[in-house]
A and B are shown apart, each in its own frame.
Chain A
């Protein structure tokens, strides 16, 4: 069970994640109100989302299809019959006083994902409604309720406790993120809350047969915080147990400002959700025909895309993997390849473009780089108009201004000088003006060749075609 490299001070962390994913649908799970983020408060609220007396839920087929898609993507069992249950609790942003969810008969069971060559099992994924939002800053003595999110469809993906380190938890989460964004199940935007994560964490001695008592950390909203929260919690539990204490089974909150987890206020009485089958919704059969329909419409999975990229564009494993790690990047690459050289495009996306994205911490579609201007850049590199060094400059300019590389090259006069006559004249002048270096070179100081190349580049402000310069200098210096 234990993996040596994940053991910390003789303790093996055991981690399971519950990931809530807001589904990309037009409407809510049980109401025809629009499912959209960022609209004015309480404008996307139907009678049903209000929980008005007498209203009834009707299941959104689109949400069901998204759940099936996730099941297919994780080689899971799709339920023949799924059942919705009510989870009863009082909270002002929960209009009906219960959440409709799935307890015993979820849409998806027994899936698996590959994380760095290791299989992490998915216990189940179930459909449920999101709650509204309550906010506490507008007034001193009042909280305010916005029900736009009330009823938004969620898929809660529950892993088995197969994860052994914070880093592995992040990799698992990234894998889930990759799957849901690849299949347009969700936009996976953690900062907007369309992907949220709870972590169940316990520690055990490697030789122990039973897991330790676990604590649950609620609502962690970034990859970075997942890692930090888990690491903090592992350390806290180790310290606790080594000082003779015990871990309490409880819910904790991660405070990203203080970088710590803390116990949520324990209520006077334990909550008891009193789950029971929702009598407004009878059991839902999922037909093989529906599953086939979803399968046919399903986009390529990351692994499938990688394999195709390797054969279609003749890429290596590493290149294919990096290009396919995010769907937006993969799509970008494919679009560029329609007009540009695949190998050169891959090299530039993986290298310079990714470097810029990382540096500025934005995604490709948020940047000024688009397939049109990037294709033009690759064309200009390929046909020798600009050198790699100049190309980096042009890319920076594109990044800042979003302008077309052809315009940048033209307006700044960055075209590479490849004209042999022109280059030969410059090279000859360099040779004529540096006779002592020529002497030294000819007497065997081969290293000085770079000096001459540098001088030519300096004269041409770097625009000389390096290949041509080498050739010309070799010819002239041989005389």
Chain B
């Protein structure tokens, strides 16, 4: 069931919040894809009853009476928050993240926390300490990552909306691989307070849903200016759900010149070409733009993200919360063993890379150079957006792939983010939506827009979804 149908059932009192939650819980208990790390069934039922008892108050809220699953990266007061890591297996935050708070206020009911790559580092959900998530379309395949559980949750119809975070593509890539719609907002639109940091200058939370409508409503709930986050921005006075119907007219849509040089799978390319004809048919003008610098984004990303993560993850030392190793001969041993035992290999690898690029003698060649590449990418986007309203490209190079591919060729996995990373480097909003289906698997395409153009991204996607059915397909 899609989000709008579900919310309408609540608003017309045909289905209570409690009944909707019971239905989700039933599906969670039957889940064999390992989508959830924790589910909070009694708490969810209680909250649903509360909403039912206060029907009038919640009736018009953006997410009224709808079950929601949150990525296990958002702190939930009194309920475990693991970030997919052994380090936080038993960690219970004493506070709610702003995203959780906003979603609660908006009338949704959290049924559980979804599986993810450990500390959001990964593109396949295989780095989770709690085991990989399977792709709902084919359980031998990965759902993408790091918000793999969140995308799979919507694809498997357990909830109609879920939250995720996107640092280098962690919403858009799993959305594409699972056949759902996912939006990474402009950096700063959604507060990072209470969202466990991976790369602070790129992390951004955003919505998953089957379609643009669900994403718009969830974004209405999630986005808010937050004085607790110094990088939070004043929210534009926009109601994304209402703006879905706005006619933005004929748009200039940039398509990247020689994009096939980036090694995109022919099936993905074919869907891309079909979508281009759809866009033309909808009255938009396609304009070829040069973005040959795009591929250097990966180099920049795999310096900056590890650098920030090496620092952000220093707080996990076994002293104040979280895991502590039993070997406590001295403080140095305590640190070493705690971090070695409780971080997975990918996290350790990125911490080491990040430590190296920030260390004396390497800072200029790596960290500073990467920040300049970042500037270059941002400048390039700015010049492109002088000519076009949106950029359209595939979300991923490939469709969902088999588990354990990473161990054979890690750089291939990193390159998987080639088309998603640039938006994170520049802080731009981008949306991925299902735009094709091949080999019994979904394919995703994405729009990247200018700063704070979420309304345009959502409305344009919505228009496509009015004339196509890719987003309605279910496993």
Contact = CB atoms under 8 A, between A and B. Distances in A.
Report A-B touching, CB under 8 Å. yes
Nearest to B96: A54
A280 B360 CA distance: 22
A50 interface: yes
Contact of B200 (A52, A53, A272, A280): A280
B230 A280 contact: yes
Contacts of B230: 56-59, 280-282
A51 B228 CA distance: 14
B311 A54 contact: no
- The secondary structure that dominates the A interface is loop
Nearest to B336: A90
A279 interface: yes
A56 B228 contact: yes
Contact of A56 (B201, B229, B308, B315): B229
Contacts of A53: 75, 81, 83, 88, 91, 93, 196-197, 315-316, 321
Interface in B317-360: 317, 319-321, 331, 335, 355, 358-360
Contacts of B193: 54-56
B195 interface: yes
Contacts of A96: 314-315
B319 A92 contact: yes
Interface residues of B, number: 44
Interface string A73-106: 0000000000000101010100111100000000
A97 B201 contact: no
Nearest to A86: B311
A52 B311 contact: no
Nearest to A30: B230
Contacts of A55: 193-194
Contacts of A52: 75, 93-95, 320-321
Given A53-B196, A54-B93, A90-B335, A282 B231 contact: yes
A279 B308 contact: yes
B314 A58 contact: no
B97 interface: yes
Interface in A220-278: 272, 274-276
A457 interface: no
Contact of B315 (A47, A51, A279): A51
Contacts of B81: 53
Contacts of A90: 314, 317, 335
B86 interface: no
A58 B227 contact: yes
Contact of B311 (A58, A97, A145, A272): A97
Contacts, number: 98
Interface string B54-98: 000000000000000000001100000101000010010111010
Contacts of B195: 54
B93 A276 contact: no
Interface in B225-264: 227-231
A51 B355 CA distance: 20
B315 A95 contact: yes
B113 interface: no
A276 B315 contact: no
Contacts of A50: 320-321
Contacts of A47: 94-95
B276 to A, nearest CB: 37
Interface in A343-382: none
- Which of B199, B227, B308 has the most CB atoms of chain A within a 10 A radius of its CB? B308
Contacts of B97: 54
A445 to B, nearest CB: 85
B320 A276 contact: no
B442 to A, nearest CB: 32
B307 interface: yes
A279 B201 CA distance: 5
B50 to A, nearest CB: 25
A276 B81 CA distance: 28
Nearest to A268: B332
Interface string A372-414: 0000000000000000000000000000000000000000000
A54 B358 contact: no
B433 interface: no
Nearest to B354: A274
Nearest to B318: A92
- Which of A58, A145, A282 has the most CB atoms of chain B within a 10 A radius of its CB? A58
Contacts of A274: 310-311, 355, 358-360, 363
A280 B200 CA distance: 6
B319 A145 contact: yes
B192 interface: yes
B330 to A, nearest CB: 10
Contacts of A56: 192-193, 228-230
Interface in B89-143: 91, 93-95, 97
Contacts of B335: 90
B381 interface: no
B311 A95 contact: no
B88 A276 contact: no
B231 to A, nearest CB: 6
B367 interface: yes
B358 A88 contact: yes
A300 to B, nearest CB: 35
- Which of B94, B307, B311, B363 has the most CB atoms of chain A within a 10 A radius of its CB? B311
A84 to B, nearest CB: 10
Interface string B448-459: 000000000000
Interface string B256-281: 00000000000000000000000000
B314 A88 contact: yes
Contacts of A86: 311
Contacts of A281: 230
Contacts of A145: 319
A88 B359 CA distance: 10
B359 A97 contact: no
A54 B75 contact: yes
Contact of B197 (A54, A58, A88, A276): A54
Nearest to B313: A97
Contacts of B231: 279-280, 282
B311 to A, nearest CB: 5
Contacts of A279: 199-201, 231, 308
A92 B328 CA distance: 13
A131 to B, nearest CB: 13
A272 B315 CA distance: 17
A279 B192 CA distance: 12
A172 B260 CA distance: 68
Contacts of B197: 53-54, 280
Nearest to B119: A53
Contacts of B227: 58
A140 to B, nearest CB: 14
Contacts of A282: 230-231
Contacts of B315: 51, 53, 95-97
Contacts of B83: 53
Contacts of B196: 53-54
Contacts of B321: 50, 52-53
Contacts of B229: 56, 58
- Which of B195, B315, B367 has the most CB atoms of chain A within a 10 A radius of its CB? B315
Interface in B350-406: 355, 358-360, 363, 367
A126 B316 CA distance: 27
Contacts of A97: 311, 313-315, 317
Given A58-B229, A272-B360, A279-B308, 5 more contacts: A54-B194, A55-B194, A88-B314, A276-B307, A280-B200
Interface of A: 47, 50-59, 86, 88, 90, 92, 95-98, 143, 145, 272, 274-276, 279-282
18 contacts: A47-B95, A51-B315, A52-B94, A52-B95, A52-B321, A53-B196, A53-B315, A53-B316, A54-B194, A56-B193, A56-B229, A56-B230, A58-B230, A96-B315, A97-B313, A274-B311, A274-B363, A279-B231
Closest 7 CB pairs of A and B: A97-B314, A274-B358, A279-B200, A279-B201, A54-B194, A53-B196, A51-B315
